[in-house]
Chains A and B, each alone.
Chain A
Amino acid sequence: MKHILFFLLFLLLVGPALQAKYHWVEEPTLAGAYHVSEHPSLSVEALTSGTYQAQLENYLEDRIGFRTWLIQLRNQLSFSFLGVARSTDLVIGNNVLFQQGPVDAYLGKDFMGEAEIQRRVRRMRIVQDDLAKRGIPFLFMMAPNKGRYQPEDLPYWTLKQKQPLSNYEVFVREMKANQVNLLDFCQLFARWKDTTAYALFPSGGTHWSAYGSTLAADTLFKRIEKLGSFDLIDFRRTGPMEVSQNEVRGTDGDLSGPLNLLFGYKHYPMAYPHIVFDPLRPPQQQPNMLVSGDSFGAALMQFNPYFQTLFSPIPATGAWKEPFSGLPPSRPKRARSWTSWISARRLSPGSSSWFSLRSTTCPTRNSSTSSTTSTIPSPTPTGPASTRSKPS
């Protein structure tokens, strides 16, 4: 029996090496953006300086057998028993995941100072005025911030770090003072929070949910129509609301995915409205638009093809035609930038808009910042429930 025990334990010791060599069982892929070491080139210099050895160790470690399960096991234990996430840039709150950056922004830890913000807003106003002279409307859309949207779910120790001012408050104040066209989804999300039928932010994601982005799109395109006197293609929700808890889509699981847990992450029930677009009818138009934005724009484009349908395609490149996948490849050969979604488009006077989508910080529900969106039609929650479906 002792020999069998020793053999089994020895097998456990060398099993990962054998699996790496023979691939007995297929392992799942890991999520998130990460580097996988490449095979180092052997040279006398690399060998004598020790760099070859270190690089080869990294190479082998990245390819060791059962690596996926071993990582998932460690992550699961850390997450379940110690409340620690192993992916970079992540904060675990009260059964909710947050990205560190937006939390820092909410806490005011990245405050750039009033003078810098004033300078930036002044420049924004110059751009707005210059575009207006050419007949091009300009709109700055402030994306919501999950940390600010639900600070009650942040860990208590982060809230102790809250600074009196964050970039958000000063940006909004200065934009109002300079009469920059602003659509403030921070404030709108705070206002919708208590009445919304479904979660506007996913528990396992950092962006607005599919449902939240639908409400945002409704408001955004009405605002653009008003601002530029456009008559954009109409769209509406159709069919029953799809609600899913285990199979979240797109950016709704962009934080929970890289946790790489053995048994998965328990999400809120997430709603996925089905949107249909009417055909273009005279005298409707598909104006040109230039978008400069961040991942919230990507998330908006991912769930429904608003931009792709409402605005004219770029004739030369056919941009908008392909559905955008907002997530990085699940198992990239090497880390890569995926910011290429920003699409510069031809601007022509009278038929274009400039639309800037930014994820900065947003107000809490109790923020004293006044709304700049009084002319925007209020969204109508279209789900069956009258309360948020976030679990208590």
Chain B
Amino acid sequence: MLKNAVALTASLLFYAWGGINFLALFLGSVVLNFYLIRLMDAALGWQKRIYLILSILLNVGMLFYFKYANFFLENVSGLSTALGGAELTWEKVVLPIGISFFTFEKLTYSIDVYRGVNKPLRSFWDFMLYIMLFPKMIAGPIVRFHEIAEQLTDRAAFETVDHKLAGLFRFVLGLAKKVLIANTLGQEADRIFGLAPAELSAPLAWLGAVCYTFQIYFDFSGYSDMAIGLGRMIGFQFPENFNNPYISRSITEFWQRWHITLGRWMRDYLYIPLGGNRVSTGRLYANLWTVFILSGFWHGAAWNFIAWGAFHGLFLVLDRLFLLRLSKRLGPLSILPTFLITVVGWVLFRAESLGEAQAYIQQMFVGSWVALPYFTMEFWYTLLLATLFSFIAAVPLIERGQLGVLAASSWSRGRMLALSMVTALLLVLSTSYIIGSNFNPFIYFRF
């Protein structure tokens, strides 16, 4: 009870610190959802369904308003001016932090209760804690209600020193991935993506895309590791969100390893309700594509995100048509073409607009082949490390070892000592990089 109160207070403070303006709105939404679902649980037949629809409309409506209003108005305005009409003017809607994850988690709560997977929580505070639990608030993983329902009331099994140490290690590992690798590569990726297409040679464009490919992985999986680690330290078991995605041998496998909780969410709450695999082949492909286009749109309100979703949807369809058979024949070699497909996909994701993405991808394939400009040794070493850590799990023994370390719930003394030393080293290194990154003194100031 007390632990939940502390965790909830910390979560509210965390959210308020990031955007106090939206706190009241979110609290109102949480209250409304809680009572709506209680009513739904008590209702029968069509009334139950009405409450579910109301809940979905409420949550999806909020998401659409805050995340997509600007996008739709921009496009309507563009269409209007193209047809000779007047340009629309409106006050831009500000995106509240964490709204995408909030929405998905509120939806899982109502759908799980509707499906009878779980009974609704009796305590409003427990429900609020589930929605607002701070470690997963900003970047996930998306925790489905039934995955955490029991832990909200009883976490005794996970509150051991082994879990806390493993949690601390996981947190520090995530921090190091973010600070030591993602930030360094991100700096160069930003520089390269900031260049005009004419300044981009093909090798430089590929280098920028690869940098971003590693940046987004180490950044996002780093955040997930931190969330999982913090969760373990306070007794929660969050689901895994990444499992060495760049060793995937197909895009289908990639989505089983990348942002796993989103993939599962899409499967359980979107793909299966659309009919899943139990439909005609044509419908199956259409469903797959729809789900991935929506997934892309969920990532960001812009055409390039939709294109990114469509791009992955296309390869999922191609996988089913023939690519999976081809990758089976290629064996481990299929990791490379799969990786290259994801690299091109990330350009769609990273570019500021669809037009920019198109220009960038064009340079990757038809740009001039001139030598790369100078990059520091720091950059090359970091890229090397990123490559190593991204692909090393392609060796099955290493992948099994990694999973053994990350998923273990009790540790031998020797292993714990070794892990603690690695944790201490990474923590000091990461802290020094965080503190030092804002300290770049001038030799002389304004002289």
Interface residues of A in 44-89 (CB under 8 A from B): 47-48, 50, 53, 58, 61, 64, 67, 70-71, 73-75, 77-78, 81-84, 86-89
Question: Contact at A9–B420, with CB atoms within 8 Å?
Answer: yes
Binary per-residue interface labels of chain B (72-102) against chain A in the complex, 1 for a CB within 8 Å, 0 otherwise: 0000000000000000000000000000000
A9 near B431 with CB under 8 A, answer no
Inter-chain CA distance A103–B20, complex, in Å, is 48
CB 8 Å contact bits of B436-447 with A (1 = contact, 0 = none): 101111111111
Measured CB to CB, the closest approach of chain B to A145, in angstroms, equals 15
Interface size class for chain B? 35 or more
A9-B446 contact, Cβ under 8 Å, with A71-B439, A74-B436, A258-B441? no
Contacting pair A70 B446 (CB below 8 A): no
* Contact status B436-A71, CB under 8 Å: yes
Interface members, chain A 75-131 (any B CB < 8 Å) = 75, 77-78, 81-84, 86-90, 99
B20 touches A89 (CB 8 A): no
Whether A9 lies near B427 (C-beta < 8 A) is yes
Q: Is the CB of A12 within 8 A of B442?
A: no
Interface residue A383 (Cβ < 8 Å from any Cβ of B)? no
Q: Are A48 and B443 in contact (CB under 8 A)?
A: no
Of A31-39, A177-185, A274-282, the one with at least 4 CB within 8 A of chain B: A31-39
> Is A16 an interface residue, CB under 8 A from the partner?
yes
The answer, among B18, B20, B429, B442, for a CB contact under 8 Å with A32, is B442
Which residues of B sit under 8 angstroms from A2, Cβ to Cβ?
161-162, 165, 411, 413, 416
Complex contact A71–B445 (CB within 8 A): no
**Distance in Å from the Cβ of B436 to the closest Cβ of chain A?**
4
Q: A260-B441, A338-B444 are in contact. Are A70 and B19 (CB under 8 A)?
A: no
**Contact B378–A84 (Cβ < 8 Å):** yes
* Contact of A33 (CB < 8 Å), options: B377, B416, B431, B441: B441
Instruction: Tell me which residues across on chain B come within 8 A of A1, comparing CB atoms.
Output: 413, 416-417
Segment 181-227 of B: residues with Cβ below 8 Å from A: none
With a cutoff of 8 Å between Cβ atoms, the chain B residues found around residue A58 in the complex are: 438
Residue of B nearest to A155 (CB): B374
Max count, chain B CB within 10 A of own CB: residue among A30, A295, A328 = A328
B435 touches A71 (CB 8 A): yes
Q: CB distance A70 to B436 under 8 Å? A: yes
Q: B21 within 8 Å of A by Cβ?
A: yes
Q: Which residues of A contact B445 (CB under 8 A)?
A: 33, 328, 335-338
Cβ-based interface call for B365 (8 A): no
- The answer on a CB contact under 8 Å between A34 and B378 is no
Q: Is the CB of B441 within 8 A of A3?
A: no
**Contact in complex: B443, A50 (CB < 8 Å):** no
Q: Is A309 an interface residue (CB 8 A)?
A: no
Asked whether B66 is an interface residue with its Cβ less than 8 Å from the other chain, the reply is no
Check if B25 is an interface residue, CB within 8 A of chain A.
Answer: no
The answer for the CA separation of A166 and B168 in the assembled complex, in Å, is 56
Do A9 and B423 have beta carbons less than 8 Å apart?
yes
Q: CB of B164 within 8 A of chain A? A: yes
Please tell me which one of the listed residues B374, B378, B433, B443 contacts residue A88 in the complex, with CB atoms under 8 A apart: B443
Contacts of B446 in A (CB 8 A): 335, 337, 339
A254 contacts the other chain (CB 8 A): yes
Which A residues lie within 8 Å of B165 (CB)?
2, 5-6, 9
Chain B residues in 8 Å Cβ range of A5: 165, 416-417, 420
Tell me the complex Cα distance, A88–B18, Å.
Answer: 30
Distance A58 CA – B428 CA, assembled complex (angstroms): 20
| Contact assessment for A48 and B442 in the assembled complex, using a CB-CB cutoff below 8 Å | no
Contact among B161, B162, B413, B443 with A90 in the assembled complex (CB-CB below 8 Å): B443
From known contacts A6-B164, A83-B376, infer whether A61 and B432 are also in contact, taking CB-CB under 8 Å.
no
**Are A295 and B423 CB-contacts (below 8 A) given A2-B416, A86-B439?**
no
Q: In the bound complex, do residue A61 and residue B435 qualify as a contact, i.e. CB atoms below 8 Å apart?
A: yes
Cβ-based interface call for B381 (8 A): yes
User: Given the interface contacts A9-B165, A31-B441, A99-B443, does A70 sit within 8 Å of B432 by beta carbon?
Assistant: yes
Chain B residue with the shortest CB-CB distance to A258: B441
Cβ-based interface call for A206 (8 A): yes
Name A84's closest neighbour in chain B (CB-CB).
B378
Q: State the Cβ distance, A7 to closest chain B Cβ, in Å.
A: 10
Which residues of A have CB within 8 Å of B381?
A: 81-82
Contact with B along A142-179 (1 / 0, CB 8 A): 00000000000000010010000000000000000000
For the complex of A and B, the 5 pairs showing the least CB-CB separation, nearest first, are A32-B441, A33-B445, A74-B436, A157-B374, A82-B378
A–B Cβ pairs within 8 angstroms, 28 of them: A1-B413, A2-B165, A3-B161, A8-B424, A9-B420, A9-B427, A10-B168, A32-B442, A34-B440, A53-B18, A71-B436, A73-B436, A74-B429, A75-B436, A86-B436, A86-B439, A87-B441, A87-B442, A88-B442, A89-B442, A99-B443, A160-B374, A254-B443, A258-B442, A337-B446, A338-B444, A339-B446, A339-B447
Further pairs besides A32-B441, A73-B432, A81-B381: 17, Cβ < 8 Å: A5-B416, A5-B420, A6-B165, A8-B420, A12-B424, A16-B431, A34-B439, A50-B20, A53-B18, A58-B438, A70-B436, A71-B432, A71-B436, A82-B378, A87-B441, A88-B441, A157-B374
What residues of chain B have their CB less than 8 Å away from a CB belonging to chain A? Answer: 17-21, 161-162, 164-165, 168, 374, 376-378, 381, 411, 413, 416-417, 420, 423-424, 427-429, 431-433, 435-436, 438-447
